Amino acid sequence: MSAVIFQTQSVLIVALMLYGISRVIGKNKNRYQHMKTMKLAMIWDILLILQIELNRGAIAKASNAMENKMMLNIHVSLAVATVLLYVFIYFSGKKLASGDESKRGKHKILGYCALTTRLATLITSFLVL
């Protein structure tokens, strides 16, 4: 049952990220809404990882990389990469919000990389089950 709850949250997080990104594309840009939505999605995603750890002992399982199936190792690597990207996105977004327009290109690239790794994490989570 917990797997269904985790998968549902994961799908909702990706949907929230897509909504957040849509807030800065096109004519109706709303950067404030983008920032709030993306912060919520990143925090929720990190809380989901903590939930999975507390429920399943994910870190202990992931630390047995030599014994794990390759798909689990790929999934864990993608999840870790996503969280690391969140850190860089957060700081570049903070500078961007304070007026440093030189960070916009970097922030956008990091954002699309994080979205890609998060989508890949979602897909591999279904393959790991």
Phi, psi dihedrals of residue 28, rounded to the nearest 5°: -90, 60
* Contacting residues for 117 by C-beta, under 8 A, at least 6 apart: 78, 81, 82, 85
Query: What are the pLDDT tens digits along the chain (129 aa)?
Result: 788 999 999 999 999 999 999 999 988 899 999 999 999 999 999 999 999 988 877 777 777 767 778 888 899 999 999 999 999 999 999 999 999 999 999 999 999 999 999 999 999 999 987
Q: How far apart are CA 54 and CA 51, in angstroms?
A: 5
